Amino acid sequence: MPNTLGLLVRVVVVTVLVIGSWWHGLDVHAEAQVEAGLKRALIAFAVARGLNGVISVAQGTEVAIQPAGLGVVLAPGEILDPVNDLVEQFSTVMLVAAASLGLQRLLIGMSGWTPLVMSLSVVAILWLLASMRQVRRMRHAHGGTVHAHEIEGPTRLALLLQAALVVLLALRFSVPVAALASEGAYRIFLAPEYERSRVELEEAKDVLGRSTEELKPPAPADESLIDRTKRFFDETGETFDVEKRIDALQETATAVTRNIIDLIAIFVVQTVILPLLFLWLGWMGVTRGLPRLWAATRSG
C-alpha cells in the first residue's frame, strides 16, 4: 500500500501554511521588531550627527602649548579630522540601514495583501488535491488497474502548482520570518555590543565637547606689563596640563573610532547579512521541502 502517512503530513503542512498565511499577528509582530531596529538605527544616526557637530566646533579651535602663546599652536580638530571622516561615513551607513529597515516594513505590509493570501490558499489546496490524486493512482497501480510507469512522478499540473506554491510562500512569509529571525539573532548575539558602543559614543561626545571648551584660549583683554608677566608664569605651569588634555583627546578619538566600527559591523550584519541569510534558508527549505513531501506520498 502507498504510504498514506506522507499524505497526512502534507495535509497538516498545507493546513498550517494556509492558516498561517491568514494570521496577521505574524505581520504585526514582524513590523514591531523592524520598528525597534529602525529606532536603534535612528538613535545611532543622531549620535553620529551630534559627534559631527562637536568635532566641527573643535576643528575651529586652536590652543598654544607653550608659555604665553609662544611656540607650537595645535588645533584639536587636526586630531579629530580622521574621526570626523569616519563619522560622516557612519552617518551614511545608518541612513542605508534605516532605509533597509523601512523597506522591510513596507514589504511586510505588502506580504499580507489579501489577493496574495487568497491565491496562496487556492494554490495550496489544489496542490493538496493533486497529492490525493497521486495517492489514488498509486492505489490503482497496486491493484493492477494502472501501469507503474504512469505514476513515476508528479504530473505537469502538479509541478506547475508546486512551482507557484513555492513563489507564493516566498512572497507571503520570507520577509516577515526573516525580519523576526534577524531581530532574534540581534537580541541574542548583538544587543550587548550595541548598547555598550552606543553608550560609549554618547559619553565620548560629551567628553569631546568639554575638552574643546577647556582647550579654548581665554578671550583677549587689555593687560598691563605686570599682568602679562604674571600670565607668562601661570601658563608655564599649565603647559603640561594642556599636553595631558591633548593626549586624552587622542585617546577619546581612538575610542570613538573603535565604537563606530563596531556599530557599523552590527548594523551591516543585522540589516544586510542576516536578512539575506534567512531569506536564502527559507527559500532552500521551501524548494527542497515540497518535493520531499511529494516523494513521501509515493513512498511505501
Q: Give the number of domains in the chain.
A: 1
Which strand (E) or helix (H) includes residue 220? Answer: none
Per-residue pLDDT at 42 exceeds 70: yes
Quickly state the pLDDT bin for 232 (edges 50, 70, 90).
Answer: very low
Higher per-residue pLDDT: 198 or 66: 198
The chain-wide mean pLDDT, for the chain, equals 79
Q: How far is CA 172 from the centre of its chain?
A: 21
pTM of the shown model? 0.78
Mean pLDDT of 104-129: 92
List the one residue out of 55, 99, 43 whose CA is nearest residue 80: 55
User: What is the Cα–Cα distance from 3 to 38, expressed in whole angstroms?
Assistant: 49
Per-residue pLDDT at 19 exceeds 70: yes
Q: What is the crossing angle of helices 191-215 and 225-268, to 10°?
A: 160
DSSP 300: -
Sign of CA dihedral 245, 249, 254, 260: positive
Q: Percentage of residues in the chain with pLDDT exceeding 90?
A: 35
* Whole-number pLDDT of residue 288: 79
Which own/partner contact pairs does 11-16 have at CB distance under 8 Å and 24+ positions apart? Answer: 11/128, 13/293, 14/124, 14/125, 14/127, 14/128
User: What is the Cα–Cα distance from 278 to 43, expressed in whole angstroms?
Assistant: 26
User: What is the Cα–Cα distance from 242 to 64, expressed in whole angstroms?
Assistant: 9
Contact 228, 68 (CB under 8 A): yes
Quickly state the pLDDT bin for 13 (edges 50, 70, 90).
Answer: confident
Alpha helices for 223-273 (secondary structure H): 225-268
Mean pLDDT of 117-144: 80
* Whole-number pLDDT of residue 58: 74
User: What residues make up the domain containing 233?
Assistant: 4-298
User: What is the Cα–Cα distance from 277 to 274, expressed in whole angstroms?
Assistant: 5
* Whole-number pLDDT of residue 153: 53
Quickly state the pLDDT bin for 36 (edges 50, 70, 90).
Answer: very high
* Whole-number pLDDT of residue 166: 86
Higher per-residue pLDDT: 136 or 261: 261
Instruction: Using alpha carbons, list the distances in angstroms from residue 233 to 28, 69, 226.
Output: 69, 12, 11
Quickly state the pLDDT bin for 102 (edges 50, 70, 90).
Answer: very high
* Whole-number pLDDT of residue 107: 93
Higher per-residue pLDDT: 221 or 33: 33
CB atoms within 10 A of CB 103: 13
